[in-house]
Amino acid sequence: MTVLGTLLQEPALHFRNMYNPLLPDLSTLKNEDIDNKITELMQKYFTASRFGQGGVMHQIAVILEAYKDEQRRRHEEARKRLIQNQNQDIGEFIKIDS
């Protein structure tokens, strides 16, 4: 079995830190912390671009994408919960007597 095959069998390693092994577990951070980190990384990215630091820009972009993906995942979960709650509320208003 290959090393990759062995790693993929570990449930915690399926998606956690697939961008960079040095990143913290983003699922444990607060929404505000993720938003602040995205802002900070975007500022650093534009600073690196002004100085022509392509390698630094690439590394920042990889980490930035990880944070944005976590943010998108959370927004999607919140959207699903909202839709589910709306459907439950509608079900309470519409009662059909047999």
Give the tens place of pLDDT for each residue, 83-97.
888 877 666 666 666
1: in domain: no
Within 1-98, residue ranges assigned H as helices are 3-9, 31-50, 54-93
Instruction: Reply yes or no on whether the pLDDT at 9 is more than 90.
Output: no
Q: Which two tokens stand for residue 5?
A: 């095959």
Instruction: Reply yes or no on whether the pLDDT at 4 is more than 70.
Output: no
Q: Kindly report, residue by residue over 11-42, the tens digit of the pLDDT.
A: 443 445 566 788 999 999 999 999 999 999 99
DSSP code, position 8: H
Question: Do 48 and 56 contact (CB within 8 A), yes or no?
Answer: yes
43: in domain: yes
How far apart, in Å, are the Cα atoms of 60 and each of 40, 49, 50, 53, 94?
10, 11, 14, 11, 51
22: in domain: no
15: in domain: no
Between 83 and 70, the higher pLDDT residue:
70
Contacts 24+ apart (CB under 8 A), 10-17: 17/66
pTM for the full predicted model: 0.71
Q: State the pLDDT at residue 83.
A: 87
Please give the residue range of the domain that contains residue 54.
27-93
Instruction: Specify the number of domains making up the chain.
Output: 1
